Structure 1
Amino acid sequence: MSVIVRSVSRHFGDARALDGVSLQVERGEFVALLGPSGSGKTTLLRVLAGLEGTDAGSVQIDARDMTSVPARDRGVGVVFQHYALFRHMTVFENVAFGLRVRPPDRRPARADIAKRVRDLLALVQIPELESRYPDQISGGQRQRVALARALAIEPRLLLLDEPFGALDALVRKDVRRWVRRLHEELGLTTILVTHDQDEAMEMADRVAVMENGRIVQFAPPATLLAAPATPFVAGFVGEAARIACAVRQGVVHFDPLPLPPLRVMLPDGSAEAFVRPHDLVASPGDSAVLRGLRAGHGEARAIVEAGDANLDAVVHPLGPWARRGAPCRLHLRGAQVFGADGTSARAVPLAERAAVYG
């Protein structure tokens, strides 16, 4: 099923939770709403679920206008962060709840409900827990019960509101990979709300980055990293150092920091550069100081003191020289630079050609 959000706004007093949000999710797609607290992502999810109204705009699910459709009739499954399981009900009864409360003309027969529940418990790999209560199972198991309950109504759309936040780190990784596989096996359309960028980048086909009630970029994870649309996206998604700089005649200067200049196609003036750790290389030299090593993803990383800034860098070559307090020099492989007029471009070493800005 597809989802189309057009110019949706929602205010709470003077606060604008959603400010003209538009979004289109394709059938079978897994989309993440990513942003800091207060960016509007949970409000948008609640609007889609029918749990929150709107002040303006429209929501369509499978080409049907949802403006006057109550939550119970939208065919949407929702899993919340704290699962909202009924503590006085067994796992079986929790999963069956959404089917049992349907109007009589739409309620399945008792035997059909029992078969549906047991099939779902097998699907989420906890069939042996049907007689237990939520307090008698682990956090990861409760998350699976909540997911089975959401799937029991055979939703056209699955909404996940930070569902992994209550899990410890190791369990969270396993469960989110399992949820992504389940999404693919069932052919669901899924929207995940999260403030965890690793979660969003790993699970989603596309990520909608939200800031102050607006979607500032909606793109595949690789695009967010390689071509962030705004300084906020560049700083929020992935690791990046934000460095003030200046562009003069197509060259980025970082004075007074001991960083080499880069070539970029941007207008002259003040600018901001976003430098990711893999774009900054520390090697033996005398313009900066290595302040500590740490493990990276397949390469050694260091904290380097360069003037008044502490920067993450890759260490090359790795050897006895790389120790705390060792002098080093810095080489830039590139950076994403935003000019004062809002245009941006990839800056590259002077010997290379810079990308066209836009």
Structure 2
Amino acid sequence: MSVIVEGLARRFGTTAALDGVSLAVREGEFVALLGPSGSGKTTLLRVLAGLEPQEEGRVEIAGQEMAGVPARERGIGVVFQNYALFRHMNVFDNIAFGLSVLPRARRPRRAEMAERVRELLRLTQIPELERRWPDQLSGGERQRVALARALAIHPKLLLLDEPFGALDALVRREVRRWLRGLHDRLGITTLLVTHDQEEAMELADRVAVMERGRIAQFDTPAALLAGPTTPFVAGFVGEAARLEGRVAGGVLRFVQPGLPPLAVALPDGPASAFLHPRDVVAHPAPEGPLIRLARATAEGTARLVVELADGATLDAVAEPQGEWPQRQAACRLEITGAQVFAANGARGAAAPLRLAEVR
């Protein structure tokens, strides 16, 4: 089921929750809507589900215009952040609920309904829970029950609104990887709302980064990291630090002391550079910026917080073959690359300067 959104607008008073949103999702695609709180991602999901009215623009799902189509007739599965399970119903009845309220002409017979529920219990790997009550379930189990209930009506579009927010980190990682595997098996077009970058990058085929009711960039995870098109995307995706500087003659020099200049093909003038921690490598040195924090990563490398001469801090990594860095030790910083935006919005990828190029 494909989804096409064109010029969508939704306002709450004087606030534009959605401001001319356009989006095209391919059939069978897994798309994440990523952005900070208040960016409009949940409002967009609710408009697609028919739970919020569209004031302007067009929504088309599977080739059908959705204006005036009520939520119950859209054939969409929705999983909310709090799962919205009925506490007075056991797991079996919660999953069966969507089938039991279908119009009589489409409602399956009782035996078919029971077969469908048990099929979903097996699919979501919780067949032993059918007679449990919601209060007897763990967070991960509730999430699977909510997903099974959304899948019961055979939706071709699945909407997930922050479905992992109530889970601890270990369970969240396990459940989201299971969910991606389930998506690949079923081929259901899926939209996930999240503010968690790791979640979006791991799960989605493409990610729509939202800012103040608009889509700032819609691309693959790799493309978002390698080629952000706006300063907002560059700063929001990938834990990038923003540093100010000035370009003169193709050389970017930073305001902060102790940082090496970079080569960049941008016009002369002020510029903002966005550096991911992997772009900044700390080498031992007799003097220079100080290492304030050091922590090990699962990959065996050291992530550092380095304090510059003006008191600003910068995330970095330790040189791969060096000794384990010590807190309060001095270092020399090497910048291997950065995304740079000029004041006019032009973007350029910066690279280290050879010694002979530094003037």
Task: Supply the distance in 1 between the matched residues of 2:32 and 2:323 (Cα, whole angstroms).
Answer: 43
1:275-331 residue CA offsets vs partner (Å, 9 max, x unmatched): 111111111222222222112352222211112221111212554573112121111
1:93 aligns to 2:93 (yes or no) = yes
Quote the residue 2:198 is aligned against: 198
1:307 aligns with one of 305, 309, 332: 309
Q: Indicate if the aligned counterparts of 2:117 and 2:152 stay in contact, CA closer than 8 A.
A: yes
1:335-346 matched pairs, under 5 angstroms: 335-346=338-349
Query: How big is the shift at 1:256?
Result: 3.9
1:142 aligns to 2:145 (yes or no) = no
Q: Indicate if the aligned counterparts of 1:300 and 1:318 stay in contact, CA closer than 8 A.
A: no
Q: Which moved more, 1:90-99 or 1:282-291?
A: 282-291
Q: Indicate if the aligned counterparts of 1:17 and 1:38 stay in contact, CA closer than 8 A.
A: yes
Task: Supply the distance in 1 between the matched residues of 2:321 and 2:213 (Cα, whole angstroms).
Answer: 45
Length-normalised TM-score, structure 2: 0.96
1:334 aligns to 2:337 (yes or no) = yes
1:351 aligns to 2:354 (yes or no) = yes
1:131-175 residue CA offsets vs partner (Å, 9 max, x unmatched): 111111111111111000000000010000000101111111000
Task: Supply the distance in 1 between the matched residues of 2:266 and 2:217 (Cα, whole angstroms).
Answer: 21
Quote the residue 2:218 is aligned against: 218
Q: Indicate if the aligned counterparts of 2:256 and 2:308 stay in contact, CA closer than 8 A.
A: no
Quote the residue 2:81 is aligned against: 81
Task: Supply the distance in 2 between the matched residues of 1:233 and 1:313 (Cα, whole angstroms).
Answer: 20
Q: Indicate if the aligned counterparts of 2:228 and 2:234 stay in contact, CA closer than 8 A.
A: yes
Query: How big is the shift at 1:255?
Result: 3.5
Q: How has the CA–CA distance of structure 1 residues 211 and 137 changed in structure 2, closer, same or farther, with 3 Å as cutoff?
A: same
1:202-247 residue CA offsets vs partner (Å, 9 max, x unmatched): 0000000000000000000011111111111111111111101100
1:293 aligns to 2:289 (yes or no) = no
**Local SS of the residue matching 1:287:** coil
Q: Indicate if the aligned counterparts of 1:284 and 1:321 stay in contact, CA closer than 8 A.
A: no
Amino acid at match of 1:292: L
Q: Indicate if the aligned counterparts of 1:283 and 1:317 stay in contact, CA closer than 8 A.
A: no
Amino acid at match of 2:153: I
Query: How big is the shift at 1:40?
Result: 0.2
Amino acid at match of 2:344: D
Task: Supply the distance in 1 between the matched residues of 2:250 and 2:265 (Cα, whole angstroms).
Answer: 6
Task: Supply the distance in 2 between the matched residues of 1:270 and 1:64 (Cα, whole angstroms).
Answer: 48
Quote the residue 2:107 is aligned against: 107
Quote the residue 1:173 is aligned against: 173
Task: Supply the distance in 2 between the matched residues of 1:130 and 1:325 (Cα, whole angstroms).
Answer: 56
| Percent of pairs with identical residues | 66
1:227-238 matched pairs, under 5 angstroms: 227-238=227-238
**Local SS of the residue matching 2:164:** coil
Task: Supply the distance in 1 between the matched residues of 2:280 and 2:321 (Cα, whole angstroms).
Answer: 14
Task: Supply the distance in 2 between the matched residues of 1:336 and 1:323 (Cα, whole angstroms).
Answer: 29
Task: Supply the distance in 2 between the matched residues of 1:33 and 1:323 (Cα, whole angstroms).
Answer: 40
Q: Which moved more, 1:294-303 or 1:124-133?
A: 294-303
User: Alpha carbon RMSD of aligned pairs, Å?
Assistant: 1.3
Count how many residue pairs are aligned between Structure 1 and Structure 2.
Answer: 352
Q: How has the CA–CA distance of structure 1 residues 178 and 256 changed in structure 2, closer, same or farther, with 3 Å as cutoff?
A: closer
Task: Supply the distance in 2 between the matched residues of 1:327 and 1:40 (Cα, whole angstroms).
Answer: 44
**Local SS of the residue matching 1:234:** helix
Task: Supply the distance in 2 between the matched residues of 1:108 and 1:23 (Cα, whole angstroms).
Answer: 35
1:118-133 matched pairs, under 5 angstroms: 118-133=118-133
Task: Supply the distance in 2 between the matched residues of 1:290 and 1:12 (Cα, whole angstroms).
Answer: 47
Quote the residue 1:37 is aligned against: 37
Q: How has the CA–CA distance of structure 1 residues 253 and 84 changed in structure 2, closer, same or farther, with 3 Å as cutoff?
A: same
Gaps of 5+ in 2: none
Quote the residue 1:355 is aligned against: none
Task: Supply the distance in 1 between the matched residues of 2:296 and 2:47 (Cα, whole angstroms).
Answer: 42
Task: Supply the distance in 2 between the matched residues of 1:128 and 1:321 (Cα, whole angstroms).
Answer: 49
Q: Indicate if the aligned counterparts of 1:5 and 1:60 stay in contact, CA closer than 8 A.
A: yes
Quote the residue 2:116 is aligned against: 116
Task: Supply the distance in 2 between the matched residues of 1:29 and 1:41 (Cα, whole angstroms).
Answer: 17
Q: Which moved more, 1:27-36 or 1:136-145?
A: 136-145
| Structure 1 segments (4+ residues) deviating >4 Å | 317-321
Q: How has the CA–CA distance of structure 1 residues 153 and 328 changed in structure 2, closer, same or farther, with 3 Å as cutoff?
A: same
